[in-house]
Structure 1
Amino acid sequence: MKTLHYFKVLLAVAGLAIAGHALSADVSATSDANRATAIFAGGCFWCIESDFEKLKGVSEVESGYTAGKLPNPSYEQVSRGGTGHTEAVRVIYDPKLVSYAALVEYFWRHIDPTVKDRQFCDAGSQYRSGIYWQNEAERQVVERSHQALLNSGRFKVIHTELAPASAFWPAEEYHQDYYKKNPIRYNYYRASCGRDARVAEVWGEKRK
């Protein structure tokens, strides 16, 4: 598993030639009636970005870092650990087409909530899963959804972090839409990491 983690780092570093770091750290939900945001962490942000961009009503997904201490961190700093950040995504969606509650349910079914400080082949707190609410309404949705999963009896414990949103730092440009820019490398990494196989095992359903 460590080998696959290092492989991912090498793939990322290979994109440095086209890197450009975005500096916005705004975490607030937009007031535009047709545009809202949501923040999730589901392990490798290349993968969770790809998953969310398949969902109707989602217009864009941005890879980045959140829930950490260091301002404007780089990929190298986060991947080494110690900054407190986790790889995350900011989902931009139309609330008239898909609700925040639907995003939360979709998120659960694309991660493994049974593990702590890891997702699939990537280990460390920088790969912990999390849902980060931006207002009271989102908090209530998240906590209801979490409790419903526990009540279902499917899981004895859920390790996914549930917390108020903090600064979201967009990742370097070469990470954005990595699965589109580098499909062969991305698909090899995802398959080797066993992400889809493990999700199907946890949830008993095939990924779309």
Structure 2
Amino acid sequence: MEVATFAGGCFWCMVKPFDEQPGIIQVISGYTGGELENPTYEQVCSNKTGHVEAVQITFNPDVFPYKKLLDLFWQQIDPTDSGGQFGDRGESYRTAIFYHDESQKELAERSKQELEQSGRFNNPIATSIVPAKPFYQAEEYHQDYYKKNPLHYNRYKVGSGRAGFIEKHWGDRNG
């Protein structure tokens, strides 16, 4: 098993796309990238801790390779937005790929370059690729939010603009 960590704005919307794939063992919502130990949701949302909302994915690379995780990650975000994601603004909603080893770093950099060169987006790709830092699991009510609160989750995904953006840029590729 391996671990991947991605920040894609609100972590509620980053769990379901990965959770439903073969070879994905676990997807945890949490916080990473900052200096404060064991931050709370309120502290992270204050944009004063340096943390971002993120998901940490435990996966079987023989079934679902890291490259496929990267492809799916790019299809969940607006990679050109450095100020947050969709309706969520601020530092805690930035996008990032947190690599856990040199192989992940190389694959992430290559995938970012391929996306940049694809011409799919008019603006430069703003998603950062940085070394993994300690990951802190979010409060229990944030875990598997799409399962616990499906109506609110779906309203949020549409209302935030995420669903429309994904449809416009990725269409049927995103399921």
**TM-score when normalising by structure 1:** 0.80
Identity %: 47
Post-superposition offset of 1:149: 1.3
Q: Structure 1 residue 51 and structure 2 residue 13: aligned?
A: no
Worse overlay, 149-158 or 99-108: 149-158
Q: Give 2:34's aligned amino acid.
A: G
Match of residue 184 from structure 1:
151
- Structure 1 spans left out of the alignment, 5+ residues: 1-34
2:137 to 158, 170, 174: 170
Aligned 8 A contact 2:6 2:56 in 1: yes
Post-superposition offset of 1:206: 5.8
Q: Residues 65-110 of structure 1: CA distance to partner in whole angstroms, max 9, x if unpaired? A: 0111211100011112111110000011111101011101110011
- Structure 2 spans left out of the alignment, 5+ residues: none
**TM-score when normalising by structure 2:** 0.94
Aligned 8 A contact 1:117 1:126 in 2: no
Q: Give 1:141's aligned amino acid.
A: L
Q: Structure 1 residue 195 and structure 2 residue 162: aligned?
A: yes
- C-alpha separation in 2, matches of 1:177 and 1:83: 24
Aligned length: 174
Q: Give 1:57's aligned amino acid.
A: G
Aligned 8 A contact 1:40 1:132 in 2: yes
- C-alpha separation in 2, matches of 1:175 and 1:204: 28
Post-superposition offset of 1:204: 4.6
Aligned 8 A contact 2:120 2:169 in 1: no
- C-alpha separation in 2, matches of 1:59 and 1:188: 27
Give the match's secondary structure for 1:56: coil
Q: Which residues in structure 2 correspond to 1:37-186 (within 5 Å)?
A: 37-155=3-121, 156-186=123-153
Aligned 8 A contact 1:42 1:127 in 2: yes
- C-alpha separation in 2, matches of 1:195 and 1:56: 24
Give the match's secondary structure for 1:96: coil
Moved over 6 A (4+): none
- C-alpha separation in 1, matches of 2:48 and 2:128: 17
